[in-house]
């Protein structure tokens, strides 16, 4: 692994420090959750600066429009993420979350993962965040509570998160210089060990030819250790088919386990949600006859 | 460079056409409503018109009514109550109309595919076609929910809550109802689904249950009667758009009608064969056949829109619990059965 240069080190340190300080200033503090407007302004300025510095590390794919859209979606997603945790109103937070999901979906689209992009939008923006909004709006019928409006232990959380962020940035930057070195060396592979790459025989049917391999092939691929990554196959057909083949062959066990887990959770949710008879049944008092004298 | 200009031009034409169509759909809706109630409907605007140079004409059916309606929308006072959450209040109608417009990006208006004279689609060759439409469609709920929340009004709020529950519930059967067609055609690409129907049979024959489920869930997604609980006038004064006036209200209206057009297009493409008609086939790539195909699609879509308006005046509104029962206890199990049966039959025939 290559060493990162001094300039890269200084830039990443500056970005992390400015970003952390900015987010700390922006977070709603105090019982009322109202921090001085000046603090929010200074914090957002520091964060914007950190964002610009970190943007110097980016290597947008392609050229022209896709590059412009990459920068746009990248900046939007990070900025919306910050606004999501610093917003005072939970409903606004949920909306910024939706903005994060949408810009991430845009990044997926640029990377060519159409199905993942659409799936992210449907599942997160279309279902989960709408459910969040539903719950928040139901819970907030009588004004906003103070614990909704202020951050809990903002200093400590910002410190731990940005330490983690720094570690991640360090790893990514050194990986990036590593990858650059390999590209110059003639190989574009990020995976250093060639031995774990094994060719994957296709189990998707092409045309009307009979499947080259049946159940045994699926089982073989499913029971392979996860460490042995299949070689990235070049999708011949629509890549939704390729995605399905990967999910239901290479990751069959994981998919089935996740499905089973969700099913159990569903059964549990229904068991909790159905109304039960009360432990102490309410004794129904017979109503007095209509002509009884009123006391 | 020219490709980008071409795409921008296409977007402009489609959006402009859609806005114009929506304006006239409102007139059609009023006419259909009038005939359903044994009235005449708007018939004045356009009568005794004096053009420049003293030419006098008589336009029938109140054909200039949309212009009058549009002018009214724009010129009315735009009231913003003081107690609303202002950024969200302004954002909500924008989301409604943007989400409704974005869905058209992958809807094929005519023939698409390699070798055609022109791709009648803004973004041709999107593998996931129909999934994209659903993704954008699932964003439309934000407009209604935010309008309900931002208005800071009990009636609006109830409308927003109802809408979020309704749209999430009906997305499930909507998504599952098309899976049968996707399995048969072997693609999510709308152009390929139409090509499959041209070579085999229309989707309504191959997937009658899927068609029914799609139609019902599509109705629910457009928020129209009998599923217009978010705005039911009698209980909620107008629901989520109670506090909206002038063009902001108009934007919700436009969004709703654009949804009607999208749902009609999808129904036609998925189940009524798209451009398929006796005498037209995938192999024809000439200009004449392309125009014919666009016209055939537009004709079928017009019929679907008329059907949707007709049903509005035929069925009464659901009660809220009936609405939820219909989605979760009838449509979802039916869609699952349909999906499993289709998959089984395909496996038996092809395997």
Q: B314-335, pLDDT tens digit by residue?
A: 888 888 888 888 888 889 999 9
- What is d(CA A241, CA A238) in angstroms, rounded to the nearest whole number? 6
Q: How far is CA A65 from the centre of its chain?
A: 25
Could you give the CA distance from residue A17 to residue A25 in angstroms, rounded to a whole number?
12
Pick the residue of A106, A123, A126, A270 with the most B CBs within 10 A to test the interface with B by mutation. Answer: A126
Q: Which residue among A91, A126, A238 sits closest to B135, beta carbon to beta carbon?
A: A126
Q: According to the model, what pLDDT value does residue A196 have? A: 43
Query: For residue A216, is pLDDT > 80?
Result: no
Q: Supply the pLDDT for residue A294.
A: 56
**Virtual torsion, Cα B82, B86, B92, B95, nearest 10 deg:** 150
Report pLDDT digits (tens) over A124-179: 888 888 888 888 877 765 556 666 667 778 888 888 988 898 888 888 777 766 55
d(CA B148, CA B140): 13
* φ, ψ of residue B8 in degrees (nearest 5): -60, -40
Question: Is the CB of residue A105 less than 8 Å from the CB of residue B149?
Answer: no
Question: For residue A142, what are its two tokens?
Answer: 């009588």
DSSP single-letter state for residue B115:
T
pLDDT attached to residue A141: 57
Nearest Cα to Cα of residue A141 among B152, B136, B256, B27: B152
Which residue carries 């008329």 as its tokens?
B306
What's phi and psi for B348, nearest 5 deg? Answer: -65, -45
pLDDT at A207 exceeding the cut of 50: no
Residues β-bridged to residue B317: none
**pTM of this structure:** 0.79
Query: Number of Cβ pairs closer than 8 Å across A and B?
Result: 78
Which long-range CB contacts under 8 A does A159-166 form with residues at least 24 apart? A159/A20, A161/A20, A162/A16, A162/A19, A162/A20, A162/A23, A165/A16, A165/A19, A165/A20, A166/A12, A166/A13, A166/A16
- Residue A195 — very low, low, confident or very high, per pLDDT cuts 50/70/90? very low
Q: What is the DSSP letter of B128?
A: T
CB B132 within 8 A of CB B105: yes
Closest-CA residue of chain A to B188: A240
Residue A262: pLDDT over 60: yes
Using 50, 70 and 90 to split pLDDT, how confident is the model at A191? very low
Distance from CA of B26 to the nearest CA of A (A): 28
Of residues B86 and A212, more confidently modeled? B86
The answer to whether the Cα torsion of B255, B259, B134, B173 is positive or negative is positive
Q: Which residue of A has its CA nearest to B148?
A: A137
CA proximity to B132, closest of B107, B95, B157: B107
Query: Distances from the Cα of B321 to the Cαs of A238, B218, B318, in angstroms?
Result: 41, 19, 8
Phi, psi dihedrals of residue B200, rounded to the nearest 5°: -115, -115
State which residue of chain A sits closest to B91, comparing Cα positions: A95
Q: What is the pLDDT of residue A192?
A: 42
Give SS3 for A198.
strand
Percent with pLDDT over 70 in chain A: 69
User: A144: which 2 tokens?
Assistant: 């906003």
Q: How confident is the model at residue A293 (pLDDT cuts 50, 70, 90)?
A: low
Per-residue pLDDT for chain B (351 aa), expressed as one digit of tens each?
777 888 888 888 888 888 888 888 888 888 888 888 888 878 777 777 777 777 777 777 777 888 888 888 888 888 888 888 888 888 888 888 888 888 888 888 877 766 666 777 777 667 777 888 888 888 888 888 888 888 888 888 888 888 878 888 888 898 888 888 888 888 888 888 888 888 888 888 888 898 999 998 888 888 777 877 767 677 777 777 778 877 888 888 888 888 888 888 889 988 888 787 777 777 777 777 788 888 888 888 999 888 888 888 888 888 888 888 888 888 999 999 999 999 999 888 876
pLDDT, position A261 = 96
How many Cα atoms sit within 13 Å of B221 on the Cβ side? Answer: 32
Residues of chain B in Cβ contact (below 8 Å) with chain A: 4, 88, 126-128, 131-132, 134-136, 138-139, 141-142, 145-146, 148-149, 157, 160-161, 164-165, 167-168, 171, 175, 187-189
- Give residue B337's pLDDT: 93
CA distance A115 to A105: 10
Task: Determine the Cα–Cα distance for residues A79 and A44; give it in Å rounded to an integer.
Answer: 9
Of the candidates B127, B136, B145, which has its C-beta nearest A239's C-beta?
B127
Residue B63 has φ and ψ, to the nearest 5°, of: -65, -20
Under a CB-based contact definition with an 8 Å cutoff, are residues A43 and A25 in contact? yes
Q: What is the pLDDT of residues A57-96, one digit of tens each?
A: 777 777 777 888 888 898 899 889 988 888 877 888 888 9
How far are the Cα atoms of A43, A84, B103, B195, B255 from residue A99, in angstroms, in the given order? 21, 9, 18, 36, 21
CA distances in angstroms from A41 to A38, A45, A46, A118, B258, listed in the order given: 5, 6, 9, 35, 40
Cis amide linkage into residue A151, ω under 30° from 0: no
Measured torsion, CA atoms of residues A81, A86, A89, A95, in degrees rounded to the nearest 10 = -10
pLDDT attached to residue A97: 92
- Domain ranges in chain B are 86-350
Greater confidence (A286 vs A49) lies with A49
With a cut of 90, say whether residue A215 has pLDDT above it: no
Q: What 3-state class would DSSP assign to B57?
A: strand
B252 within 8 A of B171, measured Cβ to Cβ: no
Quick check: A130 and B168 CB within 8 A? yes
With beta carbons under 8 A apart, name residues in chain B contacting A238: 127, 187-189
Bridge partners of B57, per DSSP, are B49
CB B91 within 8 A of CB B275: no
Instruction: With beta carbons less than 8 A apart as the criterion, state whether B100 and B265 touch.
Output: no
Name the DSSP letter for residue A281.
Answer: P
Residues A88 and A149 sit within 8 Å (Cβ to Cβ): yes
Q: Taking CB atoms and an 8 Å cutoff, what residues of chain A touch B149?
A: 91, 133, 137
Specify burial of residue B210 (Cβ count, 10 A radius: 0-12, 13-18, 19+): buried
pLDDT, position A263 = 95
Could you tell me the pLDDT band of residue A205, with boundaries at 50, 70 and 90? very low
Q: Is the pLDDT of residue A98 over 80?
A: yes
Dihedral, CA atoms, A15, A17, A19, A24, nearest 10 degrees? Answer: 180
| Statement: residue A35 has pLDDT above 60 | no
Q: What pLDDT is recorded for position A227?
A: 59
Contacts of A138 in chain B (CB under 8 A): 161
Query: What angle in degrees, to the nearest 10, is found between the helix axes of B287-312 and B246-271?
Result: 120
- Please name the helix (run of DSSP H) or strand (run of DSSP E) that holds residue B216, with its range, or none: helix B208-221
Best to test chain A binding among B103, B136, B139 (most A CBs inside 10 Å) = B139
Residue B101 in contact with residue B15, Cβ under 8 Å?
yes
Mean pLDDT for chain A overall: 74
């Amino acid at each position: 692994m290559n060493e990162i240069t001094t300039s890269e080190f200084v830039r990443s340190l500056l970005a992390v420090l400015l970003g952390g300080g900015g987010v700390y200033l922006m977070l709603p503090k105090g019982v009322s959750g109202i921090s001085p407007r000046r603090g929010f302004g200074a914090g957002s300025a520091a964060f914007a600066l950190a964002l610009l510095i970190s943007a110097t590390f980016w290597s947008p794919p392609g050229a022209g429009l896709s590059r412009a859209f990459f920068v746009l979606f990248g900046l939007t997603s990070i900025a919306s993420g910050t606004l999501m945790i610093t917003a005072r109103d939970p409903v606004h937070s949920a909306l910024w979350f939706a903005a994060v999901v949408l810009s991430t979906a845009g990044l997926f689209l640029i990377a060519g993962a159409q199905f993942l992009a659409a799936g992210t939008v449907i599942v997160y923006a279309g279902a989960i965040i709408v459910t969040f909004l539903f719950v928040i709006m139901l819970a907030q019928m009588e004004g906003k509570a103070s614990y909704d409006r202020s951050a809990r232990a903002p200093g400590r959380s910002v410190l731990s998160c940005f330490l983690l962020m720094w570690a991640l940035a360090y790893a990514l930057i050194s990986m990036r210089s590593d990858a650059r070195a390999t590209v110059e060396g003639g190989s574009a592979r990020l995976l250093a060990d060639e031995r774990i790459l094994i060719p994957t025989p296709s189990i998707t049917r092409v045309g009307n030819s009979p499947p080259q391999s049946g159940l045994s092939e699926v089982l073989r691929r499913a029971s392979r250790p996860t460490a042995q990554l299949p070689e990235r196959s070049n999708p011949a057909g629509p890549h939704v088919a390729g995605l399905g083949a990967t999910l239901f062959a290479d990751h069959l066990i994981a998919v089935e386990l996740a499905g089973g887990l969700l099913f159990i959770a569903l059964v549990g949710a229904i068991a909790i949600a159905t109304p039960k008879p009360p432990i102490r049944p309410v004794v129904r008092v017979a109503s007095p006859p209509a002509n009884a004298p009123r006391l | 460079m020219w490709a980008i200009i071409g795409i921008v031009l296409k977007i402009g034409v489609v959006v402009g056409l859609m806005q114009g169509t929506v304006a006239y759909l409102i007139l059609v809706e009023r006419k259909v409503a009038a005939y359903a109630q044994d009235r005449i409907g708007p018939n004045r605007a356009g009568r005794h018109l004096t053009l420049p140079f003293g030419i006098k004409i008589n336009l029938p059916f109140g054909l200039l009514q949309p212009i009058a309606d549009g002018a009214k929308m724009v010129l009315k006072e735009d009231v913003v109550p003081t107690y609303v959450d202002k950024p969200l209040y302004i954002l909500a109608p924008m989301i409604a109309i943007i989400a409704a417009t974005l869905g058209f990006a992958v809807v094929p208006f005519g023939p698409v595919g390699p070798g055609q004279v022109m791709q009648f689609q803004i973004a041709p060759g999107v593998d996931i076609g129909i999934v994209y439409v659903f993704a954008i469609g699932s964003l439309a709920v934000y407009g209604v929910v935010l309008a309900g929340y931002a208005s800071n009004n009990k009636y609006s709020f109830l409308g927003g809550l109802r809408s979020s529950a309704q749209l999430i519930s009906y997305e499930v059967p909507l998504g599952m109802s098309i899976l049968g067609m996707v399995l048969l055609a072997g693609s999510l690409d709308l152009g390929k689904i139409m090509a499959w129907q041209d070579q085999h049979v229309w989707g309504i024959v191959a997937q009658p249950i899927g068609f029914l489920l799609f139609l019902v869930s599509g109705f629910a997604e457009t928020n129209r009667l009998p599923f217009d609980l978010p705005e039911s006038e009698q209980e909620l004064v107008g629901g989520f758009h109670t506090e909206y006036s002038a063009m902001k209200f108009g934007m919700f209206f436009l969004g709703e009608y654009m949804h009607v057009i999208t749902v009609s297009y999808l129904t036609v493409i998925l189940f009524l064969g798209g451009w398929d008609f006796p005498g037209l086939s995938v192999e024809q790539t000439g200009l004449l056949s392309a125009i014919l195909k666009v016209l055939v699609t537009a004709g079928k879509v017009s019929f679907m829109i008329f059907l949707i308006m007709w049903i509005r005046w035929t069925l009464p509104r659901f009660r809220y619990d009936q609405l939820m029962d219909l989605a979760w206890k009838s449509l979802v199990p039916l869609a699952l059965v349909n999906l499993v049966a289709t998959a089984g039959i395909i496996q038996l025939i092809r395997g």
